[in-house]
Amino acid sequence: MDYKNSKAATTTVTYDKNKIEAPTGNIYEAITILAKRAEQINGDLRSELIEKLEEFATYTDSLDEVFENKEQIEVSKFYEKLPKATAIAIEEWLEDKIYYRKPEETQE
């Protein structure tokens, strides 16, 4: 998914509890689903950032040489400005874009 074009809030927002628990009917279950989705998003963003920063990696044993790569700094700043993984997960949840299932219901 394209997290860069997400409309999720970049600041703290108060959400309506009833809207969050509506799909499951249980706020704790909804929060658990949101937490798992936020972990997935965070992992995706982290691996993408590491992959991009690997392009700028220099493997030298000398501590005297410190390079400030402006492109690397721009990439890092871009990822810092993205919404947090939890905000993206909540946005997806409220827009009904998250698929979830209960294992005990699928076995019957």
Residue 1 lies in a domain: no
Residue 55 is predicted with a pLDDT of 81
Residue 6 lies in a domain: no
* Number of domains the chain is built from: 1
Short-list 50, 56, 60, CA closest to 72: 56
Residue 77 lies in a domain: yes
Residue 76 is predicted with a pLDDT of 86
Residue 92 lies in a domain: yes
Residue 5 lies in a domain: no
Domain that holds residue 65: 14-101
Q: What count of Cα atoms within 13 Å lies in the side-chain half-sphere of residue 39?
A: 6
Residue 82 lies in a domain: yes
pTM of the model: 0.81
One digit per residue, the tens of pLDDT, for the chain of length 108 reads 677 788 888 888 999 999 999 999 999 999 999 999 999 999 999 999 999 888 877 666 555 455 667 888 888 889 999 999 999 999 999 999 999 988 887 665
| Distance separating alpha carbons of residues 32 and 38, to the nearest angstrom | 10
Residue 83 is predicted with a pLDDT of 93
Rg of the chain in Å (alpha carbons): 19
Helix (H) / strand (E) element for 8: namely none
Residue 89 lies in a domain: yes
CB atoms within 10 A of CB 12: 7
Query: Which residues lie below 8 Å from residue 82, measured CB to CB, with a gap of 6+?
Result: 3, 4, 6, 10, 45
